[in-house]
Amino acid sequence: MKDFISFLKLPPSILSALALASGFIIFAPTKLLERLYFVDFKDKFGFYIGLVFIISISILLVYLIIKSAKYLYDKRKDKKLRENQLKYLKELSGEEKHLLRQIISCPDYTMELPVNNGLVIKLQSFYILTPAGSTHLVNAHDMRIPFFVQPWVIKMARENPDIGI
């Protein structure tokens, strides 16, 4: 039973090779099998070869269906994410759009912004702005650190000029 479970866990490339080899032995013409000296082998182990063929083809078909479904699900999820991101960017307030326009106008899309500003905190919580770096030396009287605009925001702003960024 342990060997059967390890057979089920084989990678798809090996299962494909097993399916091809067993399928060849099962479906090849007898004349060709005589030249390869496989006639006695097919007669003796034909049942097991057929079992290997059916199981490996079944596993490969299930694997293909799962991979296809996952691909389609990921595509749909990405499309939905892009739609929601675009919708959120369109619904930004005038101040938020103005701030993003200022940052995007900088050559490196980076600007020093106050850490304790509500606008900056909101944009950071929606992953529109991100601190540039992990440690910063901050003046206690003017708590500013460099922030940059996420690349997806810049891409959306260029692709959709109606956003107003």
pLDDT at 5: 75
133: left (phi over 0), alpha (psi -120 to 50) or beta: left
CA atoms within 13 A on the CB side of 151: 0
Write down the mean pLDDT value for the chain.
88
Distance CA 31, CA 39 (A): 9
Q: pTM here?
A: 0.65
Count of positions (residues) in the chain = 165
pLDDT at 58: 92
Residue 65 has pLDDT above 90, yes or no: yes
Q: Flag the least confident range among 12-21, 44-53, 114-123, 138-147.
A: 138-147
- Per-residue pLDDT of 84-130, as tens digits, reads 999 999 999 999 999 999 999 988 889 888 888 899 999 999 999 99
Element (H, E) at 1: none
Distance CA 14, CA 143 (A): 59
Amino acid identity, residue 14?
I
Amino acid identity, residue 149?
V
pLDDT at 75: 97
